[in-house]
Amino acid sequence: MHSFRYTQGELFAENVSLQSLAEQHGTPLYVYSKATITGHFTRLDAALGQLDHLICYAVKANSNLAVLSTIAKLGGGFDIVSAGELYRVIKAGGDASKCTFAGVGKTRDEIVYALEQGVYCINAESEAELRYINQVAGEIGKKAPVAVRVNPNVDAKTHAKITTGKSENKFGIEFENILEVYGRVAAEMPNLQIKGLQMHIGSQLTSVDPFVEAVKKVVPLVQEVKDKYGIQFFSIGGGIGINYKQSLDSGDEGWWQENSEVHPLTVQAYAEAVVPHLAPLGLRILCEPGRFMVGNAGVLLTKVLYEKRGAAKTFKIVDAGMNDLIRPTLYEGWHMITPLKQPATDAVEKVDVVGPICETGDFLAQNREIPLVNEGDYLAVLSAGAYGFTMASNYNTRPMPAEILVDGDKATVVRERQTLEDVLKGEHIA
């Protein structure tokens, strides 16, 4: 569900005209809906209500301070993967004691910072990392709360670059070795407190089946670890997919694809499938959604600069490029693109929507039928709230776009557009 609708011929975010925002603040421009973020959090929170649970939002999806503050005020925790993300959470008013620190390559400085701030848990991805955390914790006189990430070797059937739960992925420790690793932690690493067990099988899952397969496989292991080492929580990771092709006037949660197949992965279906397997554990359950929380809450606004008609293709050249939104290039990500002015007819044209970056791979859509638009018109790239700005760059020395949070009829600039001076700040001629 989202809060973007056509109203009186213009595309709105909640009660604010996106056309007015584009004209006032320029493009490229990211716009987020606070109501959408809040709605997704509260629905997931309610769906998991039978469990002692904590929703730890995956900061890497969208780390804007205003987004983090919104989730913190809802009572959410945070899944972080760097000291920088922990710093952001704290600056946004989040609670470090509700943060889990994941990632395969934590440095000494990051481990020290996390322990000093009192994070809920550090999720270790290898035995070598566990030994290093033990060493660092001992050197600073701390006891580090840790969980081991198990790799259940479950195929999430998602894009190869965002699957994390198979044996060939770099994440986690093999399922068969977990008990031995916990045994060595208990016997050989006195500066560690065994606090939980964690898993995460991938991102953008549009079927409940991989979740169920992973949970059913890992729950007996969790029970055994609980019995032997008294763990307090089981983290089931994130990965709930979003609908990148949802109608602007649709309020359902269904996943609609080009073949019109509707996937059953709603929040309710997800909870109904996994909660019965988790409840008997009697543990706190952590859920770590990222894309689900913010993906459909954001749009990227861009302006049509030129039209180029060639022998093979027609190109709509816009002012947003792969440096602003890299998902189409990196993941073959599909984003709905629609004009800010509601089309007067159903007429469409097959075009490539491309940006100004000097790369053939710089596109937002290829061979896409979109409504007829002209030079000077504004477009919205939908479902751009996750892995949009956080993966943006200054490639081609292009300043980063501004970000705006809409709350009802109020629009606030929550990140100013970079200037060229900002881009060059810190550089020096030798």
CATH number of 124's domain? 3.20.20.10
Q: Which one of 243, 265, 288 terminates a domain? A: 288
Model confidence over 80-89: pLDDT tens digits?
Answer: 999 999 999 9
| Domain assignment of residue 36, yes or no | no
Is the pLDDT at 214 greater than 70? The verdict is: yes
Judge if 154 and 225 occupy the same domain.
yes
Identify the band that residue 253 occupies on the pLDDT scale cut at 50, 70 and 90: very low
137 vs 195: CA distance, rounded Å? 15
Based on the residue annotation, tell me whether 358 is a catalytic residue of this protein: yes
Identify the band that residue 115 occupies on the pLDDT scale cut at 50, 70 and 90: very high
Model confidence over 281-308: pLDDT tens digits?
Answer: 999 999 999 999 999 999 999 999 999 9
| Domain assignment of residue 302, yes or no | yes
Identify the band that residue 230 occupies on the pLDDT scale cut at 50, 70 and 90: very high
Is the pLDDT at 159 greater than 50? The verdict is: no
Judge if 344 and 266 occupy the same domain.
no
Q: Which one of 268, 288, 308 terminates a domain? A: 288
Q: Confirm whether residue 120 is marked as ligand binding.
A: no
Q: Which one of 239, 257, 288 terminates a domain? A: 288
Q: Confirm whether residue 288 is marked as ligand binding.
A: yes
Judge if 244 and 383 occupy the same domain.
no
Q: Confirm whether residue 368 is marked as ligand binding.
A: no
Identify the band that residue 265 occupies on the pLDDT scale cut at 50, 70 and 90: confident
Over residues 413-427, the mean pLDDT reads 98
Q: Confirm whether residue 276 is marked as ligand binding.
A: no
What DSSP character marks residue 162? G
Is the pLDDT at 154 greater than 80? The verdict is: no
Q: According to the model, what pLDDT value does residue 156 have?
A: 54
Is the pLDDT at 262 greater than 70? The verdict is: no
Judge if 189 and 273 occupy the same domain.
yes
Q: Confirm whether residue 359 is marked as ligand binding.
A: yes
Is the pLDDT at 359 greater than 90? The verdict is: yes
Model confidence over 5-63: pLDDT tens digits?
Answer: 999 999 999 999 999 999 999 999 999 999 999 999 999 999 999 999 999 999 999 99
Tell me the longest C-alpha to C-alpha distance in the chain.
71
Q: Which tokens go with 6?
A: 């056509």
Judge if 390 and 316 occupy the same domain.
yes
Instruction: Determine which one of 56, 121, 287, 358 is catalytic.
Output: 358
| Domain assignment of residue 35, yes or no | no
What is the domain count for the chain? 2
Judge if 329 and 358 occupy the same domain.
yes
| Domain assignment of residue 429, yes or no | no
State the residue range of the domain holding 147: 48-288
Is the pLDDT at 273 greater than 90? The verdict is: yes
Judge if 278 and 300 occupy the same domain.
no
Judge if 20 and 77 occupy the same domain.
no
| Domain assignment of residue 41, yes or no | no
User: CATH code at 306?
Assistant: 2.40.37.10
Q: Confirm whether residue 339 is marked as ligand binding.
A: no
Q: Tell me which residue of 93, 98, 150, 157 sits closest to 124, measured CA to CA.
A: 150
Region of residue 132 (left: phi > 0; alpha: psi -120 to 50; beta: else): alpha
Using CB atoms within 10 Å of the CB of residue 281, give its burial: 0 to 12 exposed, 13 to 18 middle, 19+ buried: middle
Identify the band that residue 252 occupies on the pLDDT scale cut at 50, 70 and 90: very low
Q: Confirm whether residue 290 is marked as ligand binding.
A: yes
Q: According to the model, what pLDDT value does residue 243 have?
A: 87
Could you tell me if 326 and 300 are in contact, meaning their C-beta atoms sit under 8 angstroms apart? Answer: no
Is the pLDDT at 150 greater than 50? The verdict is: yes
Identify the band that residue 157 occupies on the pLDDT scale cut at 50, 70 and 90: low
Is the pLDDT at 136 greater than 90? The verdict is: yes
| Domain assignment of residue 39, yes or no | no
| Domain assignment of residue 211, yes or no | yes
Judge if 280 and 336 occupy the same domain.
no
User: In sequence order, what E strands does 157-254 have?
Assistant: 173-174, 192-198, 233-235
In sequence order, the 6+-apart residues with CB closer than 8 A to the CB of 315 are 307, 308, 309, 351, 352, 353, 354
Judge if 262 and 195 occupy the same domain.
yes
Q: According to the model, what pLDDT value does residue 169 have?
A: 58
Q: Confirm whether residue 401 is marked as ligand binding.
A: no
Could you tell me if 334 and 245 are in contact, meaning their C-beta atoms sit under 8 angstroms apart? Answer: yes
**Residue 421: CB atoms within 10 Å:** 8
More confident residue, 332 or 135: 135
Q: According to the model, what pLDDT value does residue 65 have?
A: 98
Q: According to the model, what pLDDT value does residue 260 have?
A: 36
Judge if 264 and 138 occupy the same domain.
yes
Judge if 100 and 21 occupy the same domain.
no
pTM: 0.93
Q: Confirm whether residue 387 is marked as ligand binding.
A: yes
| Domain assignment of residue 201, yes or no | yes
Q: Which tokens go with 280?
A: 């008997």
List, in sequence order, every residue forming a beta bridge with 350; answer none if it has no partner. Answer: 369
Is the pLDDT at 399 greater than 60? The verdict is: yes
Q: According to the model, what pLDDT value does residue 255 have?
A: 35
Q: According to the model, what pLDDT value does residue 261 have?
A: 43
Query: In residues, how long is the chain?
Result: 430
Over residues 122-145, the mean pLDDT reads 97
